[in-house]
Amino acid sequence: MSSTSKLGLSETYGAFINNEFVPVRGPTFAANNSGTGEQLARIAQCGKPEIDAAVLAAQKAFPAWKATQPEERAAMLLQLAAAIEADTPRLMQIDSMDIGRRLFETKLDHTIAVAEYRYFAAAAVVHEGLNRSIPNGYMIARREPYGVCGQIIPWNVPAIMTAHKVAPAVAAGNTVVLKPDENASLSTMELCKHIAKIFPPGVINVVPGFGTEAGAALTSHLGVAKLSFTGSGEVGRAISHAAAERLVPVTLELGGKSPNIIFPDIEDIDAVVDNAMFATTYCNGQSCLAGTRLFVHDAIYKEVMDRLVAGMEERVRVGSPFGDDTILSNLVSEKQGKRVLNYIDIGKAEGARLLTGGSRVDIEGHKAGYFIAPTVFEARNSMRIAQEEIFGPVLSVMRWSNYEEMIAEANGVRYGLAAGLYTSNLRSAWETAERLETGAVWINRYFNLASGSPFGGFKESGYGAELSHATLDLYTHLKSVTIQTRVDPPWFAPKAAGK
């Protein structure tokens, strides 16, 4: 039995508009198993016509959806969360084949996504405006949805990214047109089958395709009232320009080159090293928040590095996404694999010292897959491998002894998405967290991102926060309404005395 039949995949997927899959009549692109090369399905290469139809459907659905009570929207989000939870054993396999990440991780993705839908179901009910008394009346500030939200997501964690975008937008009363990445559309298209059973037609629409066609049509569409994008800085700039042309609000979550700092007072080196390896290799290193710059204090440098290199070589096993003991699996595509290998060559040419890894690994039965051994460089912060986002399992390690210099280097990149640090000293923890120029700081556990924790970047990592109550503010206007119980006596141009 083929993977397609076993997992209940459709042979082809058209755009999902008005709770129906549009028949495919134009060009398609293949969704392949990223490790074996097996074709899993074909997906419509949508463009302006499908975007136009999806936006029109979302516009027609908006007035009724806006009028629903928050409790009604919350109930549907909870139904969707339950449906995803029940379908996770299947959806996680689809993602593992589609993007190459191991089952442990893709299962966790859907667990996080379920938690997000449930969080925003609750947040929708308590998302309130402001009110205060004024003389002879009241001032009320209402939260009102924008309308149609155009949303574009990347390929690394499709389940989480879809939840990041859809959950707060519909919770706040908006309707949605979502474009998934062409490298990871399958689980999102399968999600549409659940959406069709729960939400009214037109509330959530999904249009697959390439960024230059479907993505460009969505960002420039006059019917879109709000844009949200997660992906590269280059595309983020283009979307920001498109939003500026029409004065449309936009949320951007872009790249990162996150520092991860080890202080000399840590109590358990093995635990810290384990967490540092996780920060580097989770999602096969294809994560905007990966801790890919490790700052290790001189006093414990040798001990940390000995254990780090040994751990990468002995414990981070490279294998099939479906292997029971796999820790690191294949990258999403040949293009991404070659990009990572090119950066490894750049690091060598820059004079960085390669401590382990640095090459492609052959895995039986997965000839199409780009499996990259976990790679560790001793580097300088000024090197390209320490400044540019690689999006692969490549770690640059810097030794530090002077706190001020370390802080300057930790902040010395154009990004500011996340950071981690390990210390048993409360003062060091708080002072460092305050001085790091990042949207999130995780102390003693990397990627400690709970539902409700705002997630967004500083500097070129974007603007706007996702995953939190504040996200609902980004999906709503604030309208003030004042009311008095009576009209004031004449005061602007009162009649003259005696007239």
pLDDT computed for residue 134 by the predictor:
85
State the DSSP string of 297-341.
Answer: EGGGHHHHHHHHHHHHHHTS-B--TT-TT-SB---S-HHHHHHHH
CA triple 484-490-495, angle to 5 deg: 170
| Residue-wise pLDDT tens digits, 20-40 | 999 999 999 999 999 999 999
Residue carrying structure tokens 């492609």:
360
Amino acid residing at 315: R
Q: Do 309 and 316 meet the contact criterion of CB atoms below 8 Å apart? A: no
pLDDT at residue 437 tops 80: yes
Structure tokens at 264: 């000399």
Structure tokens at 226: 């709000």
CA-based max dimension of the chain: 103
| Residue-wise pLDDT tens digits, 216-259 | 999 999 999 999 999 999 999 999 999 999 999 999 999 999 99
pLDDT computed for residue 92 by the predictor:
98
Q: Do 137 and 483 meet the contact criterion of CB atoms below 8 Å apart? A: yes
Q: Do 453 and 464 meet the contact criterion of CB atoms below 8 Å apart? A: no
Q: Strand 259-262 vs strand 458-459: parallel, antiparallel, or unpaired?
A: unpaired
C-alpha 411/C-alpha 70 separation (Å) is 41
Find the mean pLDDT for residues 467-492. 93
| Residue-wise pLDDT tens digits, 193-215 | 999 999 999 999 999 999 999 99
Q: State the pTM of this model.
A: 0.95
Q: Strand 39-44 vs strand 12-13: parallel, antiparallel, or unpaired?
A: parallel
| Residue-wise pLDDT tens digits, 48-101 | 999 999 999 999 999 999 999 999 999 999 999 999 999 999 999 999 999 999
Distances (CA, A) of 200 to 147, 196, 197: 15, 7, 8
Task: Provide the pLDDT confidence category of residue 276 given band limits of 50, 70 and 90.
Answer: very high
Between helices 158-171 and 186-198, what is the axis angle to 10°?
30
pLDDT computed for residue 133 by the predictor:
87
Find the mean pLDDT for residues 256-280. 98
Domain 3-254+461-481: assigned CATH number = 3.40.605.10
The DSSP H or E segment spanning 98 is helix 70-99
| Residue-wise pLDDT tens digits, 315-373 | 999 999 999 999 999 999 999 999 999 999 999 999 999 999 999 999 999 999 999 99
Find the mean pLDDT for residues 456-482. 94
The DSSP H or E segment spanning 57 is helix 48-67
Q: Which residues are catalytic?
A: 253, 288
Confirm whether 3-254+461-481 and 259-443 share one CATH topology: no
Please name which of 213, 203, 205, 227 lies closest in space to residue 182, comparing C-alpha atoms: 213
Q: Do 119 and 449 meet the contact criterion of CB atoms below 8 Å apart? A: no
CA triple 467-432-355, angle to 5 deg: 90
C-alpha 398/C-alpha 238 separation (Å) is 34
The DSSP H or E segment spanning 238 is helix 233-246
Amino acid residing at 475: Y
Please name which of 75, 86, 94 lies closest in space to residue 114, comparing C-alpha atoms: 86
pLDDT at residue 1 tops 70: no
The domains of the chain are located at 3-254+461-481, 259-443
Percent share of the chain, pLDDT over 90: 93
The domain 259-443 is classified under which CATH number: 3.10.20.90, 1.10.10.10, 3.40.309.10, 3.30.70.890? 3.40.309.10
Distance of CA 438 to the CA centre of its chain: 16
pLDDT at residue 4 tops 70: no
